[in-house]
Structure 1
């Protein structure tokens, strides 16, 4: 059915790069009954020394107008209908899509090119080269360091209101591991490019809907508190009290297990809706605690805060992560019952999740499959995950972000 959107994913664990590329191309292409318009490739950091060979090898075997991809500390793909999360071993995941009625535009930007955050939306549109109408959906892959990704996300939200943005930061095999971004645009004249920095992305417009699930893996403890005094990212007062005193009182009220957890897995959730009275799990943007000042009793967090904002302390562990994802999947399933079915998904999982968090492989993907079944899923383990919370796009940590594709309801 050439007029229907089609997606396919193939995963290979062959140790030879040539064999792995041949494997994924043959299986992904054979799953489609029409030519591919888009490819997404994720390659394990076990192939670090061979990144430069990936695009030439793919070009020999595969004809696709636009292909983007990156390296990952692990890759995610579909084999015989089962999703596999392969960490720290040689693997390649290739997703191909036939997208009738969809325009695909590719871009690569580096931090030095980004407009000032005070610039007009037009400056961002000129940089990306994508019109604001019809509303595009974005998939972004960025380098780990100094990519300007936070400014880019803020700029895209500003210039493209209503657009959905999802993706992840390329990762290597360990601290300081080299990363790679891939961008192959045969129609735009930008062919077979390997980048080490910046962000590669695609904008999808037309007969496609991109929906997201962003599971931050935390559960709230205590009660919501109001920031009554702050300076940049430093909380100076909570409910007109010393923040560190408030936190110590909270920790003293926890169970023994929770107190132990708070020593290394304590976070702050910033409420995203200023007007929502009853805050629940999922209403918060989770940010890390960077440090405390014992003298002043202040707490520094990984984001700016301002007086009037509400926040709540959170804990993260395997159980909280599992419950958080399941809650979001249940909500997604309930909302989507009457709409066209999902046809594919991309999964961007933090290196800090996976088997290291759950003690067993494929946990997040198997949970996802229980609620969104029988579709190809591809992705990778990221250095940071990109996705929306409360209508704005952020870079996250310890998150599993899913981009779920379906056709427009005509």
Structure 2
């Protein structure tokens, strides 16, 4: 029987009337996603079988390093859609060597998945995932960090590749919600509107104004710390927030009213992929949970300081400051501060991975709500110092804020990776112990996928061997799909404290990390009958 004739028979149901249901199930389960979607429309019985095949959540992810943009996108699309899946969202991350790949990727993926599927495409410093052709897991970190949209593609030809992650998450409603700033609106008002949009979407689909999780992507020049401080104020700790602080992105929302991509008067500060519980989820659909772990990679050095005079250079998004050492009255300029830290670091001060970790107490509110005191911990990269000031990147530091220096350390990062691996191992041991005690498998959490956001300073060059950042996930959840990126600022908002962080900061939450790897693990607990 010719292949085309067999496909026509399958689509019409001819020749399958006398075949038992188990065999039909076996055939449909082997179809690629587009054919599977067509088969589900053939008849009620086939639709019922298709629903049973996709009764549990599913994540599919693949990367391609093909230097041809069109071929690379086609490879990852074919791979993630090679098995039955109903796309509820898609995240694509590309190297800036693909030039106009953001817009074209968004178009191609939207055409394949449909205009109602939320899609986010962003530029990153590298990708982690399984090769679409070989299934080999790879960690690929690129060069020439991406800064803004004015780059010349011909200068970035080595940074070519894409990773695509598609998810089917029954029981959740998912939407891409942008932070847009109309010309007449203040930035504070724009952030407030962004938080309100997330709350309203969640309330409309779940009856609760707090989503389960948020995956964030920031713009090249966005101040994500201010945005995340507002989200922290507005969301309970049950809402997981992870993502990439800085890059360029395009998005497509399922709701056309949010698709302002082409409006120049609307700068795109950030976009959030929002996961909210579905109040109308079908009977028998279990519960999806998000779990976050983080491998820290910085070590505190030297004594604490307190900012004395602070100047902000907003055009360069930097801060100039002087400070006192803890317990002393002498005001130190930038050169004196660096000299003291240089002594602590034994002349490694020129390393570009030196930071200050600043503890902040700020009043926060949304709209006309009553302000509430929030406690934050934020990293700022050290840019240098002279006989006047210490120069650090970013804004938001005030006189009286205390800070300590931090330095990246591969030994700390390796130890922290091992700690994360133990956490994941305990997750599996807890599941196995329940099964061993006679608890039905149907009541046990199963990990079905994950995302990794790792600092672009890590990778093989940092550890001296490959695939360290992905190892906690790969070792404990073999065969489970995971997609990841190397990024310029890892977003993670959860209740655990930083490893190596002083006791004084234990109640100060950090949202944007440095030299870390953030792991979002997705698990599913079926309904117990």
Structure 1 and Structure 2 fold alike (TM over 0.5): yes
Q: Please give the alpha-carbon distance, in whole angstroms, between the structure 1 residues aligned to 2:517 and 2:399.
A: 28
Structure showing greater Rg: 2
Q: Please give the alpha-carbon distance, in whole angstroms, between the structure 1 residues aligned to 2:515 and 2:191.
A: 33
Shift of 1:204: 0.2
Determine whether 1:109 maps to 2:179.
yes
Shift of 1:238: 3.1
Question: Which residue matches 2:290?
Answer: 210
Q: Please give the alpha-carbon distance, in whole angstroms, between the structure 2 residues aligned to 1:305 and 1:333.
A: 42
Work out which of the residue numbers 366, 388, 394 in structure 1 matches 2:493: 388
SS of corresponding position for 2:201: coil
Determine whether 1:152 maps to 2:206.
no
Determine whether 1:182 maps to 2:219.
no
Matches within 5 A, 1:309-328: 312-328=404-420
Deviates more, 1:18-27 or 1:227-236: 227-236
Q: Which runs of 5+ in 1 are unaligned?
A: 172-178, 274-282
What whole-Å deviation, never above 9, does each CA across 1:249-291 have from its counterpart, x for those lacking one? 6754x5xxx5143442443345699xxxxxxxxx975443344
Determine whether 1:93 maps to 2:168.
no
SS of corresponding position for 1:130: helix
Work out which of the residue numbers 91, 115, 121 in structure 2 matches 1:40: 91
What whole-Å deviation, never above 9, does each CA across 1:207-260 have from its counterpart, x for those lacking one? 43222233341123457x4x56645574632332248678756754x5xxx514
Determine whether 1:141 maps to 2:209.
no
CA contact (8 A) 2:454 2:487 kept: yes
Determine whether 1:53 maps to 2:104.
yes
Deviates more, 1:263-272 or 1:364-373: 263-272
SS of corresponding position for 1:30: coil
Question: RMSD in angstroms over aligned alpha carbons?
Answer: 3.8
As a proportion of its length, which structure holds more strand? 1
Q: Please give the alpha-carbon distance, in whole angstroms, between the structure 2 residues aligned to 1:336 and 1:268.
A: 37
What whole-Å deviation, never above 9, does each CA across 1:14-59 have from its counterpart, x for those lacking one? 222222222111211124x331211111122121134332222223
Q: Please give the alpha-carbon distance, in whole angstroms, between the structure 2 residues aligned to 1:397 and 1:158.
A: 22
TM-score, reference length from structure 2: 0.61
CA gap of 1:19–1:262, structure 2 versus 1, over 3 A, is same
Question: Which residue matches 1:174?
Answer: none
SS of corresponding position for 2:67: coil
Work out which of the residue numbers 344, 348, 352 in structure 2 matches 1:261: 348
Shift of 1:130: 2.8
Q: Please give the alpha-carbon distance, in whole angstroms, between the structure 1 residues aligned to 2:377 and 2:418.
A: 17
CA contact (8 A) 1:138 1:165 kept: yes
SS of corresponding position for 2:446: coil
Q: Please give the alpha-carbon distance, in whole angstroms, between the structure 2 residues aligned to 1:122 and 1:192.
A: 15
Q: Please give the alpha-carbon distance, in whole angstroms, between the structure 2 residues aligned to 1:351 and 1:121.
A: 30
Shift of 1:94: 1.0
CA gap of 1:382–1:123, structure 2 versus 1, over 3 A, is closer
Q: Please give the alpha-carbon distance, in whole angstroms, between the structure 1 residues aligned to 2:228 and 2:480.
A: 28
CA gap of 1:125–1:86, structure 2 versus 1, over 3 A, is same
Matches within 5 A, 1:265-304: 265-270=353-358, 286-292=379-385, 294=387, 304=397
Q: Please give the alpha-carbon distance, in whole angstroms, between the structure 2 residues aligned to 1:9 and 1:35.
A: 14
Work out which of the residue numbers 444, 447, 469 in structure 2 matches 1:342: 447
CA gap of 1:60–1:209, structure 2 versus 1, over 3 A, is same
As a proportion of its length, which structure holds more helix? 2
Determine whether 1:75 maps to 2:127.
yes
Question: Which residue matches 1:30?
Answer: 82
TM-score, reference length from structure 1: 0.77
Question: Which residue matches 1:280?
Answer: none
Question: Which residue matches 2:437?
Answer: none
Pairs aligned (count): 383
CA contact (8 A) 2:342 2:348 kept: no
Shift of 1:102: 0.4
SS of corresponding position for 1:326: helix
Shift of 1:203: 0.8
Work out which of the residue numbers 6, 9, 15 in structure 1 matches 2:67: 15
Shift of 1:129: 4.0
CA gap of 1:15–1:8, structure 2 versus 1, over 3 A, is same
Question: Which residue matches 1:279?
Answer: none
CA gap of 1:356–1:228, structure 2 versus 1, over 3 A, is closer
Q: Please give the alpha-carbon distance, in whole angstroms, between the structure 1 residues aligned to 2:187 and 2:135.
A: 46
SS of corresponding position for 1:219: strand
Q: Please give the alpha-carbon distance, in whole angstroms, between the structure 2 residues aligned to 1:102 and 1:293.
A: 53
Q: Which runs of 5+ in 2 are unaligned?
A: 1-52, 143-158, 278-286, 311-318, 362-375, 432-444, 497-508
The structure showing larger relative contact order (alpha-carbon pairs under 8 Å, at least 6 residues apart) is 1
